[in-house]
Amino acid sequence: MTLLTLPPISEDDVLELKDYIGCGESVFGQTESKTLREFIDSLYRKCQEIEAKRWRDDPQNWGACSKWPREDDLPF
């Protein structure tokens, strides 16, 4: 068996590759190869890490998931 070495790619390329793989899986179904499935799953995990980091690093998202206290929100 010959192993392939992939060149380094940017985070944007990883996110784009995820879209292509997701499209391929929706058309052809999931792969039966255990090794390929592990690679795809690790790619999806890496994409989640990248997207989460980008979300956390964007100041516009700070506080977007929690309600800020306001006087008109008080129950009395």
Stretch 10-24: mean pLDDT, rounded? 94
Q: For CA atoms 52, 55, 56, 57, give the dihedral sign.
A: positive
Question: Residue length, the chain?
Answer: 76
What is the model's pLDDT at position 5?
87
What is the model's pLDDT at position 62?
73
Tokens of 61: 């998202």
pLDDT in tens, 18-74: 999 999 999 999 999 999 999 999 999 999 999 999 988 888 877 666 665 665 665
Distance separating alpha carbons of residues 36 and 42, to the nearest angstrom: 10
What is the model's pLDDT at position 1?
76
Q: Does the pTM of the predicted model rise above 0.75?
A: no
